[in-house]
Amino acid sequence: MIDDFQFKFGEYKKQLMKLNSHAWDGDKKWPEIEEWLKNFDGKYCSKEEEKLLALHLLTNFIYFGNSTIREMLKACYQDQFIIPLKQEIRKNLSDSVDCAKINSLLDIEIQKTLFIGAGNPSESGAHLLYFFRQMNGLSKEMFSDFFGAFYPDTQSDALIPHSANISRYVFFDDLVASGTQITGYLKDRLARIRIKNPDVDLQFMCLFATTTGLNALNGSEMFNGKANCLFHLDDSYKVFNEESRNFSESKEPSLERLKQFCYCYSTYLGFYEEDKLGYKDGQLMIGFPYNTPDNTLPIFWCKHPVLWTPIFTRYNKIYS
């Protein structure tokens, strides 16, 4: 007779194979999962129970394959840019229903817009703008890096637009979690843009944002209410939050047991206290084909030549 471990293990394997086939674009084959499971060697409880805890977490991991990301980029453009812009145009036309006139003005407004990757040109925001342009059939002239859009004024601390024809700048990123990095990168620059262009239209759009990150972006010194996301990661997406959408204390394995399991291995891997459940206690379980955010639980993405084999690799930024 099959024992309890083998039965549960087999059920998790079936779930993961379905996920890989239908949601993960076939990116995670079973041999990769087996290699990841070898990391769990009994530091918290028995090896068999640790493997079941790891598989339980993995079956609840939110992974967005390339095809899903591309469709989300289309939805992002329509929901966060085109629809609000049409609504604004209609309002200015006294709620006109003249579609031809609305679309004509829409085309003009689109030409006045420049999309900019938030952060360094080598980072994920700029990387995704390539697919954003393709999926939405946009001209490459509508995209720029930051200093292709603005230059420093020699007479003041202001940043001046390169083109007088652009009146709307839309900054783009994939994920905003803590909001620390993006505010650090843009806060001073946005203030310098506004010195000589106080009424310039500065917007921000992203695929994913936590409540904390979205609040940081919508502050008066940032985008002042003009930052939006397609997928809002509220506190229920924090794995070990009391309102966690995936786990609870009343079910097995319990929320606390899963938390202590992750905490044990993050301690073993040398993470600082505030980062043991993801950067700044992010507690996310989310990943993309091109990278995994450090706000995600480290047991999924940590990479070490001796200590750890990841299942969703993270490629850390290298700062000089």
Average pLDDT for residues 18-34, to the nearest whole number?
Answer: 93
At residue 2, the pLDDT reads 60
Average pLDDT for residues 67-74, to the nearest whole number?
Answer: 95
75-101 b/e (C-beta count within 10 Å ≥ 16 → b): ebbeebbeeebbeebbeeeeeeeeeee
At residue 87, the pLDDT reads 94
At residue 1, the pLDDT reads 43
At residue 246, the pLDDT reads 83
d(C-alpha 186, C-alpha 220), whole Å: 13
pLDDT digits (tens, 9 = 90+) for 190-202: 999 999 999 999 9
124 vs 230, residue with greater confidence: 230
Eight-state DSSP code of residue 64: -
- Confidence tier at 125 by pLDDT (50, 70, 90): confident
Place of tokens 């609000």: 84
At residue 318, the pLDDT reads 72
- Interhelix angle 255-268/47-58, rounded to 10 degrees, is 110
pLDDT digits (tens, 9 = 90+) for 268-317: 999 999 999 999 999 999 999 999 999 999 999 999 988 999 999 998 87
At residue 320, the pLDDT reads 62
Range in 13-27, 121-135, 293-307 with the lowest mean pLDDT? 121-135
250 vs 46, residue with greater confidence: 46
- Confidence tier at 18 by pLDDT (50, 70, 90): very high
Q: Report the sign of the C-alpha dihedral through residues 244, 245, 250, 255, in that order.
A: negative
- Confidence tier at 63 by pLDDT (50, 70, 90): very high
Q: Which phi and psi angles does 161 have, rounded to 5°?
A: -65, 140
At residue 142, the pLDDT reads 96
Domains and CATH numbers, the chain: 24-59+239-320 (no CATH), 66-233 (3.40.50)
Place of tokens 């899903």: 68
Reported residue count of the chain is: 320
pLDDT at 77 over 90: yes
